[in-house]
A and B are shown apart, each in its own frame.
Chain A
Amino acid sequence: MKRFLLAIALGIACAPLLVCAQSTDEEVFKGEVTRWGDTVQHIAGDERSKQRRGDEADIMGVPADDNHKWFISIVGSKGCAPCARLRADIRADQATQKNLGAFITLMDGDEMHSDPKSSWSHYNYFLAEDKTQAFRFEKLGIKAYPTIIVQPPLNKAFGDPATIVYKREGYDGDPAKLVKEISAAIKLYVQKQQERKDGGATKAAAARHALPAPARSEISGAFGQNDIGVDPPFVPTPRVDPTPVPNVLPPQIPPPDAKPTPAPKPDATPDVPVDAKDLPPEAVIVYDKNAIASEEQARRLDRVVEKLRAAGKILRVRQIDYRDAPELDVPRDQLPAVVVTAEGRVLDRLTDRLLPFVSEEPKEIGLADVPWNVIWTLITGGGIGVGGAVALLLFAVKAFRAFRLSQGKAPLLSDEQLAQLRAQFETWFKPREPAK
C-alpha cells in the first residue's frame, strides 16, 4: 500500500514533465540554429524596402536604449473622419518635421508606429475594433475617436509611466493647436513632479507667478471634459509660462515650428587621420537602390557572405548604394556585387556575373562530372574541338582543386579566380542567337 501511494505521488510529480515534452517533431530547426552560429540579422520590411534602404545588414551590437521616450498613443476607429484627418496630418508633417512631425517620426511604410530610433516619442495607433488591444483602454471608457493619450517614459524619470499626462477625445483638424496642448501638459506635469520631489519649494516659487487656475466653466467641451468627478488638466495654453523649474532638465520638447538643425560648422582643427590598418575587414554589398533584387540574387549574396565569414575573411558587413561609393568602382550593370575590403584597400570584387559561381555550394567531384562525351570522342579518334578541350581543362582544374582540398592544402586557384575563369569561358562559348 505504501508503495502504491508512492507510485501515485511519483506519477503526479512526473505529469508536468510529460506535458513539457514536445509531442511534435521539428518545431524548431535546431540544426539550423547551430549552423547560424553567432548571427544578428535585421529584417527591415519587405524585399523592395530592403534593397531601397539597404538596412538588412548584420549588426554588431544592441541598439541604444530608448526607454527615455515619451509615449503618444492614438485610439482610432475605422470609418472615423477625424481619425483619418489626424493620421493624414501626422503623415503630412513628416517631411517638414513641424507640428506633429516634431513629436512623431513614422516608420517607413507604416502609419501605425513610430521609428524607434529616430522618433522623439514612441507612437502607436490602436484600432478600437482590434479586440486584442481592447484590454488596454477598457477602464478609460473612451467615448469618442480619435482619443490621444500621452504618457511618461518607461525609465520612470518622470514618474509612473502608466500616468495619463494628457488625454483628449476628438480632433478639430488643427495640428499646431494639438501640439501646443501636448507641450503645455507635459511641462506642467514635469513641474508638478519636481514640486513633489523638492517638497513644495518650486510650488512656492511658481505661486509668485501664479497661473490663472481655470474655472470649470472655462474648460472647453471639445477637450472631452465629460468625466464626472475628474478634473484633468485639459486647459488652454497658459498666458504665462510656468516658472522655470530649478535643477530639473525638462524634456527636450521640439517647438511646433522647429526648423531642421543646421549641420555644425566644421572644426578649425584638422581631423586626426584614421590609420588604414585600423579599418576592419568587411564585405560591402553594393546595390542599386532603384532596382529590385530577385530572391535568387538575395540568396546568393547571403551565401557569399556566409562563405567569407566562415573563411574568417570578414568581420563586418554593410550595404551601400553604388552612387555613394564611386571608389569601389562597381559598374551599374554588374550590381548587386560584394566588394571585400581590408585596411582600407579593395581586395576583391564579386560582381553579379561571378556570384552564381562563387555562391554555389561546393560539391564533391563525382563520376557524373567527368565529360564522358569528350573522352569517348577522343578514344574513337574524333576531333573534340576547342569546346571539348576547354571542358576537359575545366574538369581537370576542378578535380585537381578538389584533390588538394582533400589533402588539406590550399588550392592553386582561389574561389574568385576559378569563378572568373568559368565566367570568361562561358562568355566566349555562349551560344550566339542566329542573326535575324
Chain B
Amino acid sequence: MRGLVSPIEICHTMKLSAIFLCVLCLFAGERTARSIECPDARLSFDVPSEIRAFYRNPDGSCVQCSLGMCGVSQNVPNASTLLWDTEYGSRERGGSGPSRVANYSRKRGLRIYNITGRQTYDWLRWAYRNGRPAAIGAAPVHFQTGCGCHPKEGDATWYVCDNNRTGTIAEYSQKGFERLHESSGTWIVILDYPPTPPRPVIVAWWQ
C-alpha cells in the first residue's frame, strides 16, 4: 500500500536523525550529554538542585538569579535573598547592567568584584581556584552561574548552571565556553566573601 514505510526505511531515517542530533550538539556550544551534580571536586560551587530550583528565572532577572545561587554557595544571605523582599533589602527584579548591580550592592552593603572586558577569564580562574563561583555573562543578553572549571589552567572543561534550567549543570569545552561567554559581552560578578568548605565528612584520620 502506498504511504506505508518499511521498518528498514524507518531505521535509516532514525540513524540519519541521530547523526544530525550529534552534529547539532557539537555546534550548539559543544555541550556534552554527561551530567555533573553537586557536590563534585571539579566544581567550585555547591548548591543542590532542589535549592537551585528556588532561583529559576521567573521574569528576566537572570543576573539576580545567578548572584543568588552564588550567595547560597558562599553562605551570603545578603546575596541569596536578592530576588525577594527581606531584612537585607527590597527585591531586585528585571534586567541589570554593571551599574545597577553596583548600585544595589552599595545599598545592601554587599561586597562584590564587578568585572567587564578582557580580564574576565583571569578572574574566573582565580575564583574557581579559590573555591568561589561567579555570576557570568553567558549566551546573548543572559547571565548564568559559573560553577567551576577543571583543570584550573589551560584547556579546561567549564561548568555552568543556567537559571532557565536549574536541574542541570552543563559542561563546555574551552572553545564552547568562550563562545558562550563572549556572546553576552564579557561581564562577571564575584562575591567578595571567603569560600565555604566542602561538605564535612568524619574520617578516622587519627588511627
Q: List the interface of chain A (C-beta within 8 A of B).
A: 1-2, 5-6, 9-10, 12-13, 16-17, 19-20, 22, 24-30, 32-34, 36-47, 49-50, 59, 61-63, 65-67, 69, 71, 73, 107, 109, 112-114, 116, 119, 122-124, 126, 130, 132-133, 135-137, 139-140, 149, 151, 154, 159-165, 167, 188-189, 192-193, 227, 230-233
Contacts and interface: CB of A to CB of B under 8 A. Distances in A.
A19 B164 contact: yes
Contact of B28 (A17, A61, A65): A17
A43 B115 contact: no
B141 A41 contact: no
Interface string B101-115: 010011111111111
B22 to A, nearest CB: 10
B36 interface: no
Contact of A232 (B51, B97, B206): B206
A164 B51 contact: no
- The B contact surface, by secondary structure, is loop
Contact of A28 (B107, B185, B201): B185
Contact of A30 (B24, B113, B184): B184
B167 to A, nearest CB: 12
Contacts of B115: 39-41
Nearest to B101: A43
Given A26-B141, A65-B126, A132 B80 contact: yes
Interface of B: 3-5, 9-10, 13-14, 16-17, 20-21, 24, 28, 46-48, 51, 54, 59-63, 72, 75-77, 80, 94-100, 102, 105-119, 122-123, 126, 129-131, 137, 139-143, 164-165, 184-187, 192-207
Given A22-B141, A39-B117, A10 B97 contact: no
5 contacts: A5-B14, A33-B187, A38-B119, A47-B106, A59-B113
A29 B102 CA distance: 13
Given A5-B14, A38-B116, A136-B200, A67 B129 contact: yes
A45 B4 CA distance: 70
Given A22-B141, A124-B194, A132-B80, A188 B95 contact: no
Contact of B142 (A28, A37, A233): A28
Contacts of A59: 113
A6 B3 CA distance: 15
Given A42-B112, A67-B129, 19 more contacts: A1-B5, A6-B17, A9-B16, A28-B62, A28-B95, A32-B98, A33-B98, A40-B123, A43-B106, A46-B108, A62-B123, A73-B197, A107-B193, A126-B75, A130-B77, A135-B48, A154-B130, A162-B197, A163-B200
A17 B28 CA distance: 8
Nearest to A196: B205
Contact of B16 (A6, A25, A66): A6
A136 to B, nearest CB: 5
B97 A139 contact: no
Given A112-B75, A119-B194, A231-B206, A30 B111 contact: no
B110 A43 contact: yes
A65 B130 contact: yes
A67 B131 contact: yes
B199 A136 contact: yes
Contacts of A140: 200, 202
A45 B111 contact: yes
A155 to B, nearest CB: 9
B185 A34 contact: yes
Given A114-B194, A116-B193, A136-B196, A33 B97 contact: yes
A242 B77 CA distance: 41
A173 to B, nearest CB: 24
A151 B200 contact: yes
B185 A33 contact: yes
A220 to B, nearest CB: 17
Contacts of A47: 106-107
Contacts of B3: 1
A188 B206 CA distance: 8
Given A17-B28, A46-B106, A67-B131, A29 B200 contact: no
A113 B83 CA distance: 22
Interface centre among A65, A113, A123 (most CB of B within 10 A): A113
